[in-house]
Amino acid sequence: MKFMLHMNVPKGPYQMQGWSPDDIKAMVAFMDQFNSEVKAAGKLVTAEGLVGPDEARLVRAGADGRPVVTDGPFAETKEFIAGFWILEVKDAEEAYALAAKISTCPGPGGVPLNMPIEVRAAGGPPPTD
């Protein structure tokens, strides 16, 4: 089964502003280690960090079918998605265990962030019946 796991971080100055260089290195090392482990286990489909919401754009098709690109409006939220993983695992319980591990990523001073990780199964198309 495939699952998408994504990290939700507080909205505001993007992610690690004010963190020491050592704290950033520890966070990156943690994520690199996690990615190496799931890749070695054959579970990693893909993973990426995302730019901050100030760089996100909304795209709609105009009347002529060409893209109309705007920088909002976005729904008001206190959090945004900072990165994601798509993992191939045996079941939801395994996805939850991996999400819990990601949640413990170190923050300033090495204290676990315990950030929320949303877990969603990747399914096929909706039923047509």
Instruction: Tell which wins on pLDDT, 50 or 128.
Output: 50
Q: Does 43 map to a domain?
A: yes
Q: Does 56 map to a domain?
A: yes
Q: Does 13 map to a domain?
A: yes
User: CATH code at 95?
Assistant: 3.30.70.1060
Instruction: Calculate what percentage of the chain has a pLDDT beyond 70.
Output: 92
Reported as a pLDDT band with limits 50, 70 and 90, residue 33 is very high
Q: How many domains does the chain have?
A: 1
Q: Give me the domain span that covers residue 57.
A: 2-121
Task: State the chain's mean pLDDT as an integer.
Answer: 89
Instruction: Tell which wins on pLDDT, 23 or 52.
Output: 23
Q: Does 109 map to a domain?
A: yes
Return d(Cα 12, Cα 14) in angstroms, integer.
Answer: 6
Q: Does 129 map to a domain?
A: no
pLDDT for residue 36 is more than 90: yes
Q: Does 73 map to a domain?
A: yes
pLDDT at 122: 92
Query: What are the pLDDT digits (tens) for 3-27?
Result: 999 998 776 554 677 889 999 999 9
Q: Does 97 map to a domain?
A: yes
